[in-house]
Amino acid sequence: MNQPRRSSIIKRSLIIGAVSLAALASVVVGKTATHTSFVKLPTLAEQRAGVQIYDRADKLVCVAQQNGDRKPIPLSQMSPFIRQAVIAIEDHNFYHHMGVDPFGIARALYVNAKAHQMVEGGSTITQQLIKTMYFGYEDKSARRKLLEMFMALDIETCYSKDKILETYLNQVYFGRGAYGIERAAELYFNKPASKLTLSESAYLAALIKAPSELSSPANEKRARARQQEVLNNMVECGFITTEKAAMAKDDRLNFRAGQHSLVYPYYISYVLNLIKQDIGEERLWKEPVKVYTNLDTRGQAAAQKALDEGVLKSQRWGINQGALVSINVADGTVIAMVGGVGSYERHQWNRALYPHTAGSAFKPFVYLAGLIKGVIGPDTMLEDQPVAVPISNGRYYTPKNYDGSYMGAMTIRQAIALSRNVCAVEVGQYAGMGTVIDTARQAGITSKMDPFPSLALGTCAISPLEMATAYGTLARGGEYIEPQFIRHINGADGKPIKSFESFHDYRLPAQHVYQIVDCMQDVVKSGTGRKAFLSDVPVAGKTGTADESKDVWFAGFTPDVVTAVWAGNDDNHPIHRKGITGGTVAAGIWSGYMLNYYKTHEKPKIAFVQPQEPLARSGQFYTFFPQPIGQAAAHLGRFLDSEAQKITSGIAPIAGQSDSFQSHRTARQRAEQSEEQHKTASTESNSHKGGFLHRLANKLKHLF
């Protein structure tokens, strides 16, 4: 290090030390004379205060706090090891100074000057508490340091050491979203703070210096080295013997993550974000509020269980994450939302709100657009065969089916049930991609959709919340209802602050929606979504599988609940096993959720509304050809008609001659004449047919 920088560091340390000593003397004199207190420490009750969250049955679910996940407890409920470990590593003179430690400051000055850099701080536990509660760790100004010292001295003259230590241990951050020792003990070792062992206490105390870094699994060696330093300091302070320290160093830490105190964290966290947008963050935490949500705790528990189990079974195939959103069909209330599996502290990203490639789960809106536009109808037959759609610069889009095969002519119902890609692209082209996008928008999809032919196969990215909302519109026969998480917000006195009313709008023609829903039941009964079948409850739905199975879906509904399930991985890697689709994974998760849901909820007693004119189940002698294939087929049809007329006109004179034979000829003569005429007619007819086939071949060559 160069000389000017070294001198600057030494000078800065000396100034801080001198100011600290002067502050100590002046404040002690003033406080002693006036016996006044300016800084107040919060009580345990005040530390536990927060936003009260209630479920749809008006039962208290949890209390959300402003500054992280904490569970304040009295000092008596904390292990003596954690108290000793924190004092030993952070402030071993804690019980002997008055908030500012002159000897600690002097020691830090010496160590920093000797090392020619800042390697040790002189802050006491009391000063750290002030910094945590009032300033934050980003503010490193000299002004903040002076205020911190004055406030620390102020607190020490009004509160006991135990109260200060208790508040500190309830406020300090331990990493992984855990504030306070009780939550840290639960999140790292799945036990209360009172049960912490010596080695566990030393480990948690070691994290305080740099909680975000040292709590990371990648830095475990650094954390263990810091833990040994804590144990050595405990020996120096006389808290433990050398032998106990050695045994603690050899102890194997049994990390077992406990449950997040914010129960149903994905749902509750999203609710808190919505409240902040509506009434503002300052008001949210400034005054006690009660939030009444639409959360169904039994449904939420069933959703989490089904998702956890389904993803766990699929991990060997490369699926390690999932999401689920469930909405009440009747009123659009969101009864359950799970944004991921595993520890919430490590996986806080809410995948239920993030868009994923929709795949074939988007197809119902393509066929619905075709029905609305009038380009397909109940008796329409589609051709599942190779097709090339012109896009630009002489290039063509050539969709393929998932299994690589083509099945020929089929009904719309069959195309939906078997999820045939070519048929969906054909309908999308004939209806127009603008109509498809508008239909999806009317249903409730707000994500970006590009009007490319491939959109018919769900190349757009949609969130599970959007998917459940749009399928809910289908379940209601075309009525869109904005998804609703919150019913109302009340003050502490029970008076309403704000009520939430969902938006309703009839957007899509009911009969066409009923036709699509009727076909979607076949997806579950005999198509790609058979794993979602429920024996005693009607189900309609659709599977979805993105390219390389990076995203797999099942979205479906019963008469009373609509649910969308997504599964995949956060790295967007392909699933490394062939045959894994929305029908094999997501549909199984969906049915697992619904089976558990109906164990605690009454099953619907109504069925889906039947369309007045259902889409055909079997084929008719009519084939639907989208443009431009349809134009070619029309020309071919007119050509066939004209050729048939030529053949008929050629045969007619022959039949006339046969009718004019004279009756006086003998039977033999009539027989011979008849035989001759038959040969002549046969020759002329074959001549016409040969010319027709030749002209047909040329016409087909010209058209295609």
Task: Give me the active site residues, please.
Answer: 90, 360
Burial 140-158 (b: 16+ CB within 10 A, else e): eeeebbebbbbbbbbbbbb
Report yes or no: 591 and 324 within 8 Å, Cβ to Cβ.
no
| Cα gap 200→183, rounded to integer Å | 14
Between CA 350 and CA 472, with CA 567 as vertex, the angle to 5 degrees is 75
Instruction: List beta partners, residue 323.
Output: 566
Tokens 């039941």 belong to residue = 521
Dihedral sign (CA 121, 125, 131, 136): positive
Mind giving me the DSSP string for 575-607? PSSTT--IIIIIHHHHHHHHHHHHHHSPPP---
- Those residues whose C-beta lies under 8 Å from the C-beta of residue 575, and which sit 6 or more positions away, are 317, 318, 319, 548, 549, 550, 552, 568
- Those residues whose C-beta lies under 8 Å from the C-beta of residue 76, and which sit 6 or more positions away, are none
| Cα gap 351→333, rounded to integer Å | 19
Structure tokens at 563: 């649910």
Residue 251 gets which letter from DSSP?
P
Could you give the C-alpha distances from 324 to 207, 311, 316, 571, in angstroms and in order? 35, 12, 21, 19
Tokens 């006109």 belong to residue = 649
3-state SS class at 388: coil
Report yes or no: 425 and 386 within 8 Å, Cβ to Cβ.
no
Q: Which helix (H) or strand (E) holds 63?
A: strand 60-64
- Those residues whose C-beta lies under 8 Å from the C-beta of residue 508, and which sit 6 or more positions away, are 368, 372, 439, 442, 443, 473, 478, 480
Q: At residue 447, what are phi and psi to the nearest 5 degrees?
A: -65, 165
Between CA 507 and CA 513, with CA 511 as vertex, the angle to 5 degrees is 60
What's the distance, Cα to Cα, between the start and end of the chain in Å?
Answer: 81
Sheet-wide strand order for 321-328? 334-338, 321-328, 561-568, 551-557, 540-545
